[in-house]
Structure 1
């Protein structure tokens, strides 16, 4: 039907042209911002995820800044400790020299003056080793305490794995039957009948509880028992055995109970697998919450600090006599040993922070890469699409023009 009131072809052409215009606007937006998701309007779910991860990257940056500050505090402390160590070596040199018996009074007085001058520099160095108000070597540290905490991650600690500690066993290569608290004549566990551990494991979301059985054999070694638990629970429960203490412990990332069964009867396990009595299954307890902080320990390298490295290095040391010099050398040797021990501890703390910062840097880079995968636009693809849409827009305009001319054919009917 030919009509001048309704031009369906023009309506379709106009809709197509408008859609092309919207697509073109979207492509231009992506090219301008470099993002395929620049606002919640583009893709609400992806935008929310990306914003959350951007906040995490910012948090990690703050944590790394804190680690940098703590590392600087430790580095300053280490520098001061090394300087104090150099002074102790010079003091020892003076003390050894003063042990000679052929020195005149004037020579001994000169050695004593040098000794006193060097010794008095120690407190000055220790008190000057401050960075950002923190000092690790004069006994004050942050907030006047002996330690301070450094954030090592932006995420708070969560509960650790569930664990159950049992009794003490012998060497892991011994058969279970030779362990006095497993099988003996005085009431240990009896493997002459069908014996097994029965685990009841609840999934992390609490939706499902599974029962798994681990058979026990008197011919198994402790190591074979460990392997059996891991294999027969598909790794959901593991066993740790401490060769030094002989302690046996069961671990799982899921809540669990375990019972010792003989011929399908819950039986007293003698405290071997946990503190379970007859008729009572043992429950794995959740571990302590993981920490997201590292405690940095400081020391006091000032003269005569009680319980510290230089405790015996006091103003009473006198090298004006050979015997006094020998006593001073002994005190200096003790101070050097203790100082080097404390410096090793501080160095280990600095190394731990360095390792953590390296990890956080890699983690931050990975998160940023993940954000890019979610929201970054493929500019090569968008460039090709831009050209296609520009051509399509021109063709759409031509099509709309042609469609608008269609009703004019009606005039030919009236000639």
Structure 2
């Protein structure tokens, strides 16, 4: 005689199988912290979270670019601020040269040292190979300075990298003027120093000076230019012209410094906003795919208890089956 039916044993096995499957899923969520780890868990949420993750990485790159730009702008602003202080000292020296009986040659010695310092400040204001206050061969003074500032995804799926522009750095319109001097020094060999405040002769031209005064000569065509400086043969009228030209240079340097300061402030604001976006991305992804750890931990404990009870039920069912089997083993 054969016993075919083991209903209680099969029922216990089915229950244990279901519990084991649920435990595997719950354990995976507890160990990874994710309820949507693969597309098979929830295709829609997985796709959305994957796209957001790529955007978050792009946004992180933008934040890095903003940090680099902030450092670059900080150095550029410091250079402008320091140069303004030096040019102010030169202006004061020139005013002192208008006094009767003063030794202009000695004053010029101080002015020469200050001019050397101006060039040093301008050329050393470099961060990561980028200098925003001095240009040379290979630089395009008419090309706006741009900083990656945002990563934008439109509703149609297209993306774009937004930029911040150096507002003073605009392409010249019409004839070149002192307003085109957006840097401290223009050392391009193809020009005449017109894009550098310290190397442009247009301040003297617009002031109606008798000579094309510049603070320092650039590396380009400097024919007819005269560096600002005095000697015992310099006339009172010439000194007055130099004072006027230097004052105009200071005004333009203040304009450039204001533009740097405004851009530095905007970089700071954009960087804070980028950090807020990154946090928002993280919260959004978390809501879509993260597991509720408290709930899953409680569920795992419950499933472990159910598994123990299921094993006990299986043992009882097997024991009952063995008892019945023994009753018929001699038949």
Do the structures match in fold with TM over 0.5? yes
Change (3 A) 1:137 1:326: same
TM-score normalised by L of structure 2: 0.76
Deviation at 1:150, TM superposition (A): 1.8
Would you say the 8 A contact 1:66–1:151 is kept in 2? yes
- Distance in 2 (CA, whole Å) between partners of 1:394 and 1:41 is 29
Match of 2:162 among 262, 267, 292: 292
Counterpart check, 1:314 vs 2:215: yes
CA-CA distance at 1:95 after TM superposition? 0.5
User: What RMSD over aligned residues (CA atoms) do the two structures have, in Å?
Assistant: 2.8
Aligned-pair distance for 1:371? 0.9
Distance verdict in 2 for CA 1:366–1:140, change over 3 Å: farther
Report the equivalent of 1:153. 150
Name the counterpart of 2:92: 93
Deviations 1:188-239 (A, max 9, x none): xxxxxxxxxxxxxxxxxxxxxxxxxxxxxxxxxxxxxxxxxxxxxxxxxxxx
CA distance in 1, matches of 2:53, 2:165: 28
1:111-163 Cα distance to aligned partner (Å, 9 max, x none): 0111122123222221211111111111359964542322222226789xxxx
- Counterpart-to-counterpart distance in 2, 1:42 and 1:157: 27
Does the 8 Å CA contact 1:37/1:375 hold for their aligned counterparts?
Answer: yes
Between the two proteins, the alignment pairs up a number of residues equal to 282
- Is 1:391 the counterpart of 2:305? The answer is yes
- Where does 1:241-320 land on structure 2 (aligned, <5 Å)? 292-296=162-166, 299-302=182-185, 305-306=193-194, 308-310=196-198, 311=200, 312=203, 313-315=214-216, 316=226, 317-320=228-231
Deviates more, 1:74-83 or 1:38-47: 38-47
Higher helix share: 2
The structure whose residues are more often strand, as a share, is 1
Shift of 1:87: 0.6
Q: Specify the alignment match of 1:75 in structure 2.
A: 74
Shift of 1:3: 7.3
* Aligned counterpart, 2:129: 133
Residue equivalent to 1:25 = 24
Does residue 409 in structure 1 map to residue 310 in structure 2?
Answer: no
Q: CA deviation at 1:291?
A: 7.0
SS in 2 for 1:153: strand
Q: Deviations over 1:16-55 (max 9, x none)?
A: 1011112112222222222222233433332222222111
Alpha-carbon contact 1:135-1:142 (below 8 Å) kept: no
Pair 1:330-2:244 in alignment: yes
Structure 1 pair 142–406 and aligned structure 2 pair: CA distance change class (3 A): farther
Equivalent residue number for residue 277 of structure 2? 363
Structure 2 vs 1, CA of residues 290 and 6 (structure 1 numbering), >3 Å: closer, same or farther? closer
Give the SS at the match of 2:166. Answer: strand
What do residues 253-306 of structure 1 show as CA deviations (whole Å, max 9, x unaligned)? xxxxxxxxxxxxxxxxxxxxxxxxxxxxxxxxxxxx987222235532127832
Alpha-carbon distance in structure 2 between the residues aligned to 1:136 and 1:323: 35
Say whether the 8 Å CA contact 2:62–2:150 is kept in structure 1.
yes
> Cα gap change, 1:302/1:158 in structure 2, threshold over 3 Å: closer, same or farther?
farther
Q: Which runs of 5+ in 2 are unaligned?
A: 170-181, 187-191, 204-213, 217-225
Q: Helix, strand or coil for the counterpart of 1:152? A: strand
Q: Deviation at 1:333?
A: 0.8
Deviations 1:156-180 (A, max 9, x none): 6789xxxxxxxxxxxxxxxxxxxxx
Q: In the TM superposition, what is the alpha-carbon distance from 1:102 to its structure 2 partner?
A: 2.3
Equivalent residues of 2:29, 2:35 under 8 A apart: yes
DSSP-derived class of the 1:155 partner: strand
Q: Which moved more, 1:134-143 or 1:45-54?
A: 134-143
- Pairing partner for 2:256 from 335, 339, 342: 342
- Residue 66 (structure 1) aligns with: 65
Other-structure match for 2:175: none
Could you say which residue in structure 2 is the equivalent of 1:236?
Answer: none
Q: Distance in 1 between matches of 2:68 and 2:166?
A: 12
Deviations along 1:350-403, one digit per CA (max 9) or x if unpaired, are 222221111111011011011111222222212211221111001111111222
